[in-house]
Structure 1
Amino acid sequence: MFSILIAGRLPQINFQQVSETQFVIPIPDVDHVNHLVVFMTGQIPFPENYGGGGNWPSTEGPTWIYLGKITNTKPSAIFKINKIKDNESKLGSSLAPALFSAFQHQTAIPSDGLLGISVEPLPQLDQQVQPNDVTPSTVASNVEFVSKMLNNFVNYVTSFVQNVPGTSEQIVPLSIVTTWYTNFQRRITENPNFWKQQN
């Protein structure tokens, strides 16, 4: 049902089912892994209104760090794992408690790495909290962001176009571009998702 892809390696599908709804896969040589691409193989979909939450074991105890989710409508995601250890002391409530407890009681967590996927209702996954710097992204969301950012830029600067006297050329003052950049940077700092409300 699931597969992972790490740059420079073959896709891996050797997930181990540890309960009715939980799966794990070892990640060898994890020190050289910055991102994991997790995707559904397309052979088996999630049950309706369910998805899979990606989790990473914490070194601080029997808890797991929530990385994000994949669903039937968004069947792939990129999980950023290279800063997890740096952030663990700051995570607090971002840790997902009690996940894979049966697995942890039976098996020691590998010293390299381990990815867990827990099949859960979508509303339950939506309530999970992702720690900073491990938020997953998808190619589609990155394309959407860039598209909306560029549309915002073009719409803004073209409203300040000036004609060059005696020619058919049009220019935009550099100060207008600088103002757009400053405003966009401020807005995305205040609300990283503001662009999702842009038409």
Structure 2
Amino acid sequence: MFGCLVAGRLLQTNIQQIDDTHAIFELPNVSSINHICVFLLGNIPFPEGYGATVHLHWPGKGFQLLGMLSNDKPSAIFRLRSSFSSSTTTRAFEASSDSTQSDLTSGTTAVLGISIELLAQILPQLPSQTLSNSSSINSNAIAKPPPDPTLLAERVVRHLFNYISGFASSSNLGPDVAVPMALIAKWYEVFLSKVKNSGTAFLERDSE
């Protein structure tokens, strides 16, 4: 799913899976690396509403956040040299720091970590400059909790009731009069057209 490329070196696709949402690349001779490009290979996209944070474990300095990837931003170039503090700045890989540290070649190998997360959780982690550079991310792709099915059903029924009530005066519809199927069929046609064009947001507006 991921690849990384260091200038002057072969493309790396030898990613090591840690768990379902975390993976790493080892970067030998890290002191000679100025920039690194990380990207999606294009064979597997992120699930809807998800992206990935990219982190670097510099020997002795812990994992630190570099930036992010998403379906709208499938590649990014990061500057490595002179960009790290003396302490860890991310918690995404804290649980695996000890095991990762044992894999390092003393003083020469860094670890590039990739953590798959919800976009809604990723964006607040990014510095303002990085966030502005990622403005192409579609905010509608950020995962939102599914609507309450009971509330949604109530709004659909209310929409149907309001639609039919609008014909009451002209069609002499009363509480004991059967509703013509043609009227319900017309409502269904209008309702479906609205859902296809604008989703279910109009139901929320109608309920206000």
Rg: which structure is higher?
2
Is structure 2 residue 116 aligned with structure 1 residue 123?
Answer: no
Gaps of 5+ in 2: 137-208
8 A Cα contact 1:4 1:13, kept in partner: yes
CA contact (8 A) 2:58 2:110 kept: no
Within 5 Å, which residues of 2 pair with 1:28-47?
Answer: 28-47=28-47
Counterpart among 93, 97, 104 of residue 97 in structure 2: 104
Q: Is the CA contact (8 Å cut-off) linking 1:78 and 1:136 kept in structure 2?
A: no
Q: Distance in 1 between matches of 2:94 and 2:74?
A: 26
Q: Please report the RMSD computed on the Cα atoms of aligned residues, expressed in angstroms.
A: 2.8
User: TM-score by structure 2 length?
Assistant: 0.55
Could you list the runs of 5+ residues in structure 1 that have no partner in the other structure? 142-199
Q: How many residues end up aligned between the 2 structures?
A: 130
Q: How does 1:1-199 map to 2 (within 5 A)?
A: 1-57=1-57, 59=59, 63-84=62-83, 87-89=84-86, 95-97=89-91, 99-107=92-100, 108-110=102-104, 111=107, 112-130=109-127
Q: How far, CA to CA, are the matches of 2:79 and 2:132 in structure 1?
A: 9
Contact 1:79 1:136 survives alignment (8 Å)? no
* 1:149-199 deviation digits (Å, cap 9, x = unpaired): xxxxxxxxxxxxxxxxxxxxxxxxxxxxxxxxxxxxxxxxxxxxxxxxxxx
Distance 1:131 1:60 in 2: 27
Are the structure 2 counterparts of residues 137 and 43 from structure 1 closer, same or farther at C-alpha, using a change threshold of 3 Å?
farther
Q: Is the 8 A contact 2:58 2:111 kept in 1?
A: no
Amino acid at match of 1:126: L
The whole-number CA distance in structure 1 between the counterparts of 2:67 and 2:76 is 8
Report the CA distance shift for 1:41/1:17 in structure 2 as closer, same or farther (over 3 A). same
When normalised by structure 1's length, the TM-score is 0.58
